[in-house]
A and B are shown apart, each in its own frame.
Chain A
């Protein structure tokens, strides 16, 4: 079960763009907030928020498909 979940998330993040994957992993793996991610990546905070939102929406969609 856990392995399936891990594989599903791995697969979902693999389909993200590089920026979306970077901000997604920094947010959910490293527990960094938008400002910290902006400092780490050199993006603006608003750009980080946009990439994060798109990444979460994409991953949710992939996970929803996986669960169906």
Chain B
């Protein structure tokens, strides 16, 4: 290629749509290279400046956005952590109390059952023995047999009977 690249060919070269011959010429020809540099150098400077500025401006914003979005998550995490600790403490205190109450209730129930049963040496037996002893004593202390007692009621008292032979 003897002629230099035209303005349109230079634009196409910049956009990467040149033919292989144009591409080679743009790389080898100092004049065309200079033309291309007049576009590429300012655009590269513009690009790096804009990217630097963009990083400086957007980075704090992104951090701010992240902290705003992360804050509730941190609060939720803290809340669930303390909720778990609270539940564990509650269970650790409640279980022994529950067991103690269960044992107490079981003991009361056992006491109630034993109190309702008649005792082996109950006072009834003692009473029965006493009654029996009284009955034995009464039987032994009788002067006449029990079946004859009604008849004895008909006989007048000895003291009230007048001596034979009348009064003198």
Q: How far is the CA of A56 from the CA of B17 in the complex (A)?
A: 13
What are 26 A-B contacts defined by CB distance under 8 Å?
A2-B49, A5-B41, A5-B45, A6-B42, A6-B45, A9-B43, A9-B46, A10-B46, A27-B15, A28-B43, A29-B47, A29-B50, A29-B51, A52-B15, A53-B8, A56-B14, A56-B15, A57-B7, A57-B11, A59-B39, A59-B43, A60-B7, A60-B10, A60-B14, A60-B38, A64-B38
In this complex, how many residues of chain A approach chain B with their Cβ under 8 Å: the count is 19
In this complex, how many residues of chain B approach chain A with their Cβ under 8 Å: the count is 19
A-B contact count (CB 8 A): 50
Q: What's the least CB distance linking A51 to chain B, in Å? A: 11
**Which of A's residues lie within 8 Å of B, judged by CB?**
2, 5-6, 8-10, 27-29, 49, 52-53, 56-57, 59-60, 63-64, 67
Q: Does B12 contact A (CB under 8 A)?
A: yes
